[in-house]
Structure 1
């Protein structure tokens, strides 16, 4: 079975470079039928990932803590939740595990999502059809209470155009659904999308020696829609400054006073 990176290479050579099946076969040194299968047919293998055990992985608690850690990663360190704060908030939600269990999970999450600051910069170019994507957390009123709205924003630095869709969470399901809604708003798919080290898309952040490793689900989504992905260096917000400005623009122009939300569809239309 081919890896997703090899499948994406086959599709790239076929769709972007216009190579024949025989040319792809010779270039990649693979079987002709294999090249044909992945170049022209909708064949995307489902690879099994090892299942981690324990209540943090088998129940909802790991997802909740991951969402909190991801939100806090965008805040200054003094404003982030401590491990004890996270534990006490989980207990209020009905968590029955120990403080040590939470600490182990947080340490593992930090080891897989936080890298040392990369001081190397690359020249940023923004040709037409290149987009940037990021989340912004805002507030809206629903049933008499303030609720967090996770707004997925896509901007095009070349034209300074921007699009947005409000979502209930920043998990993978919401992220991929949000991208589909943005494609619908735009009326097409960008040629290339620059993203931050978003947990729903990036399994391992890039380092000096290695490229970022994308999640299998996002790789399948990318392969289906045919766009390229460019992952920012860790702690390098300047590499997607245009979309960060768009997030601020939407926050201060549409969420300055928390709008009343009947549904996410109505809020999207607004």
Structure 2
């Protein structure tokens, strides 16, 4: 059976170009009867309707999880529920299936419900020496109280390496100090750094007509260390998706429960050791 694109090509040559069946046969290199069948008859292949089976397709569970996935589409990516959270939500409602079954269903749902907001993007290339930088919000325990932690994370998509330093805020002083600490952890300065429109670094957001403008202090910092800067387009987190994933990885693996910290330097040392341990397969929560 011919592919749909081939059938439309035959009909186009016959109806729009006025070619004879013999000419279509020679042009496309197909059998004369085949050319005749699809050129002059209203004949289109019927799509097979392979009805899927299983409790997620035949019972209420698939409809429930589909509603949750549709709801999460309206949230920022970092606020959407993970597959594990969706699975646990079903279990609370009495679902008896496995986590793997839920993962398969979610993947199938994603493949058939494309997010139009991310369609049309070209694949991004990340050469060696390119780093992505972003802040991530977390929590820790200090003197018996929960405090906010703003972890500055730097990742290298080409090598999949990541470094992080916890900071008390996301102001300019913390950003520049954090970058210096990240350079020390990485053992050098990246050739280029990709950031989003961070207020401490960008004083004017990119528009369709003009480029984003860096703050004077960040320009001086950039000039001193000699790296290039790439600024993502507004609301285009996928352009630095690697560091977004690393922020989530650090949050859910090392801050799943708020760690106890004596100081920011103490927490920075613990986090650096844990990220180093990941490279040799010894990941664990911060103490």
Q: TM-score range by the shorter chain?
A: 0.5 to 0.7
Distance 1:135 1:249 in 2: 13
Contact map agreement 1:118 1:235 (CA 8 A) in 2 = no
Distance 1:119 1:168 in 2: 37
For residues 80-121 of structure 1, the C-alpha deviation after alignment (integer angstroms, 9 at most, x for no partner) is: xxxxxxxxxxxxxxxxxxxxxxxxxxxxxxxxxxxxx99985
Question: Which residue matches 1:39?
Answer: none
Distance 1:140 1:146 in 2: 6
Q: Which has the higher contact order (CA 8 A, sep 6+)?
A: 1
Residues 118 and 208 (structure 1 numbering): CA distance in 2 closer, same or farther, change over 3 Å?
A: farther
Is residue 240 of structure 2 the alignment partner of residue 240 of structure 1? yes
Question: Which residue matches 2:250?
Answer: 250
Contact map agreement 1:167 1:178 (CA 8 A) in 2 = yes
SS at match of 1:166: strand
Q: Offset at 1:208?
A: 1.6
SS at match of 2:169: coil
SS at match of 1:209: coil
Distance 1:150 1:196 in 2: 16
Contact map agreement 1:118 1:234 (CA 8 A) in 2 = no
Question: Which residue matches 2:45?
Answer: none
Is residue 125 of structure 2 the alignment partner of residue 125 of structure 1? yes
Q: Which runs of 5+ in 2 are unaligned?
A: 1-74, 80-116, 271-287
Residues 169 and 124 (structure 1 numbering): CA distance in 2 closer, same or farther, change over 3 Å?
A: same
Distance 2:250 2:123 in 1: 27
Distance 2:176 2:252 in 1: 25
Question: Which residue matches 2:91?
Answer: none
Give runs of aligned pairs for residues 5-16 of structure 1, distance below 5 A: none
Structure 1 segments of 4+ aligned residues over 6 angstroms from their partners: 117-120
Question: Which residue matches 1:82?
Answer: none
Q: Offset at 1:122?
A: 5.7
Give runs of aligned pairs for residues 105-254 of structure 1, distance below 5 A: 121=121, 123-254=123-254
Distance 2:118 2:185 in 1: 35
TM-score, normalised via structure 2 length: 0.52
Give runs of aligned pairs for residues 21-170 of structure 1, distance below 5 A: 121=121, 123-170=123-170
Aligned-pair RMSD on alpha carbons?
2.0
Question: Which residue matches 1:14?
Answer: none
Bigger Rg, structure 1 or 2: 2
